[in-house]
Amino acid sequence: MNIPDYSQSPPIDQVGVEERVARLNSRSIKKESKIKALEMALSMVDLTTLEGMDTAGKVIQLCQKAKRPHPYQPDLPTVAAVCVYPRLVSVAEKALRGTSIHVASVATAFPSGMAPLEVKLEETRQAIEDGADEVDMVISRGEFLEGNYNYVFDEIAAVKEIVGKAHLKVILETGELQTYGNIRKASDLAMHAGADFIKTSTGKVKPAATQPVTLVMLEAIRDYYYRTGHMVGMKPAGGIRKAKQAIQYLVLVNETLGGNWLHPDYFRFGASSLTNDLLLQIVKQKTGVYQSLDYFSND
Amino acid sequence: MPDRVNVLKTYKTYIDGAFPRTESGRHYKVYDREGNILANACQCSRKDVRRAVVAARGSFPGWSDRTAYNRGQILYRIAEMLETRKGQFTEELERTGYKAKRAVAEVESSIDRLIYYAGWSDKYQQVFGSINPVASSHFNFSLPEPTGVVTIWAPEEQPLLGLVSVIAPVITGGNSCVVLASETYPLSAISFAEVLNSSDVPAGVVNILTGSRTELLDPMTSHMDVNAFFYTNPDIEVQQQKQIDENGALNVKRIIRKPMEDWQDKEAKSPYFITDFQEIKTTWHPVGF
């Protein structure tokens, strides 16, 4: 396969992107379609805890929530994956054994990516050994902004080699890439280097995921699919807290990539508090009564 | 031809410290006692209730954590602001058909009522709390603490005094609230929101909506994030009463009803109005060592 010249990535029309997002956001999803969308969004959540204060206990609690999001709604889907730091992968793996829920680990010196390559590769290897079947890596934004695209490309390719059959999600940290043009370029680069998913943000930098950024990345995925026939997944992460936002993202995906991407294998939400809001809205739709966080678990 | 074009006030709602229109885009006409049109008021929908409850819940931790003394100061501040706008409120009441003397009396009583509750702010916990005798080596004491978010139907008549009399005891006790103004005479309530907005009351502690009681009964009483419902109607229908009670049972809300013929009455203010929206918390604290 020919590796394209990244300086040839198409320029992005900022006003056009933002207006298209605004127009798609005005779509109204109600009643049965809303329940369907909410349950679909729930099945796409990567339930995430990435704090310096994380403990094994917290991860186990999170895995329980992943398996059974709501104690009195047994028919709800489980979430797609639980996402933790590498040293807690074995805990999550044990807690989720026997389920179809994936264990995702961030790696490569998350969130800054500022570590020597060997350290990053070793960290990735460790996470895979401990049982992670999805790895969320960060790119070296400094190198990217300096124009060392080859360095970034090689790094992703090296990590992909270690990850092997497991899924590799490449975090672009779009909040640090400055322009939509850079985001498009980084998306093209990551997909050609072997990413199974491209992901917006670490959640540690503001702004995190936004809808215009997501649309730019979705269009990159579409163009890549037209060129190669290979379906790459998308994961917006950070700042998605409300069910309403989640549904707006699903509309973006459906309108840009079509129904084939509306599946946890190709679309994920990186979020922690989103799950509770989805549950709140699902129960509201089913009972007709506005709900309170008093009756839902915190984590 | 008049010298200049009249500039009329648009009466909107008060949610989270701002004055948005209802999300439904609906309005209804407000008349005076002779049947002349006074203004258009927002006809709020269940979604406005939902937004207001979210705002009230968000403001609750901050408001209930204020010191009792500070809450008293802010209550007093509302009274001061109302005092400086006496003319506006008197005139507004007169436009709905009040005689001048009665309008002045209602505004003045409203101000005095705020002062009354401002005074109670740092006293009700002392008066209604207790140290309890127990047969072990513990200090045992009970204190009233705010219940949370309260939805309120303000009285239909006496649109200012009635409104102030139901809001003041609820927020004095550290609760936040969502109030549905008098359906027939809602204008004073929205003007009162302007007073609240300039009185250091944090955004979201008081939210004021206008619209139909029948329509908003269900969301205001069934919402699981609402801890109490306060209404005053002397003439409520049995069917509505039943629905309020059933909805309240969903999350064991406090349902408080105070049917009051005249809010100028001596009985219309009382520290027990504060304790109606309090939960008693008892603490066992070991002594010794």
Provide the residue-wise pLDDT of chain B in tens; the chain has 289 residues: 678 998 888 999 999 999 999 999 999 999 988 899 999 999 999 999 999 999 999 999 999 999 999 999 999 999 999 999 999 999 999 999 999 999 999 999 999 999 999 999 999 999 999 999 999 999 999 999 999 999 999 999 999 999 999 999 999 999 999 999 999 999 999 999 999 999 999 999 999 999 999 999 999 999 999 999 999 987 889 999 999 999 999 999 999 999 999 999 999 999 999 999 999 999 999 987 5
Q: Would you say residue A167 lies in a domain? A: yes
Render each residue's pLDDT in chain A as its tens digit; 299 residues. 566 677 778 999 999 999 999 999 999 999 999 999 999 999 999 999 999 999 999 999 999 999 999 988 889 999 999 999 999 999 999 999 999 999 999 999 999 999 999 999 999 999 999 999 999 999 999 999 999 999 999 999 999 999 999 999 999 999 999 999 999 999 999 999 999 999 999 999 999 999 999 999 999 999 999 999 999 999 999 999 999 999 999 999 999 999 999 999 999 999 989 999 999 999 999 999 999 999 888 76
Tell if the CB–CB gap between A290 and B250 is shorter than 8 Å: no
Residue of A nearest to B49 (CA): A290
Written as six digits, the tokens of A232 are 């790459």
Written as six digits, the tokens of B144 are 């009233």
Q: Would you say residue A80 lies in a domain? A: yes
Tell if the CB–CB gap between A292 and B222 is shorter than 8 Å: no
Tell if the CB–CB gap between B225 and A294 is shorter than 8 Å: yes
CATH numbers and ranges of domains, chain B: 27-286 (3.40.605.10)
Return the pLDDT at A4. Answer: 67
Residues of chain B with C-beta less than 8 angstroms from the C-beta of A292: 223-225, 251
The three-class DSSP label of residue A243 is helix
Residues of chain B with C-beta less than 8 angstroms from the C-beta of A30: none
| CATH number, domain containing residue A100 | 3.20.20.70
pTM of the model: 0.90
The three-class DSSP label of residue B209 is strand
Residues of chain A with C-beta less than 8 angstroms from the C-beta of B53: 290
Q: Would you say residue A225 lies in a domain? A: yes
Tally the domains of chain A. 1
Q: Would you say residue A17 lies in a domain? A: no
What are B231's strand-pairing partners? B257
Return the pLDDT at B1. Answer: 67
Alpha helices in chain B (DSSP H): 46-65, 68-84, 86-95, 100-120, 124-128, 161-172, 187-197, 213-222, 238-249, 271-275
Q: Would you say residue A46 lies in a domain? A: yes
DSSP state of A237: B
Selection from B117, B122, B141, B146 nearest residue B228 by Cα: B146
Written as six digits, the tokens of A230 are 């290979």
Tell if the CB–CB gap between B223 and A292 is shorter than 8 Å: yes
Tell if the CB–CB gap between A290 and B223 is shorter than 8 Å: yes
CA distance B225 to chain A (A): 4
What residue numbers bound the domain in which A105 lies? 33-295
Return the pLDDT at A3. Answer: 65
Residues of chain A with C-beta less than 8 angstroms from the C-beta of B224: 289-292, 294-295
Q: Would you say residue A19 lies in a domain? A: no
Q: Would you say residue A16 lies in a domain? A: no
pLDDT tens digits, A186-217 = 999 999 999 999 999 999 999 999 999 999 99
Contact status of B225 with chain A (Cβ, < 8 Å) = yes
Task: Quote helix, strand, coil % in chain A, to nearest 5.
Answer: 50, 10, 35
Report the alpha-carbon distance of residue A81 to residue A49 in Å, rounded. Answer: 11
DSSP state of A166: S
Return the pLDDT at B85. Answer: 97
Q: Which helix (H) or strand (E) holds B177?
A: strand B176-180
Amino acid, single-letter form, for residue A194: G
- Binding-face residues of B in 35-54 toward A, CB within 8 A: 50, 53
Return the pLDDT at A9. Answer: 85
- CA A294 to chain centroid: 28
Contact predicate A287/B221, CB 8 Å: no
Residues of chain A with C-beta less than 8 angstroms from the C-beta of B223: 289-290, 292
Report the residue of B23, B50, B220, B225 to disrupt the A interface, i.e. the one with the largest count of A CBs within 10 Å: B225
Return the pLDDT at A33. Answer: 94
Return the pLDDT at A1. Answer: 52
- CA B159 to chain centroid: 12
What are B282's strand-pairing partners? B142
Report the alpha-carbon distance of residue A29 to residue A26 in Å, rounded. Answer: 9
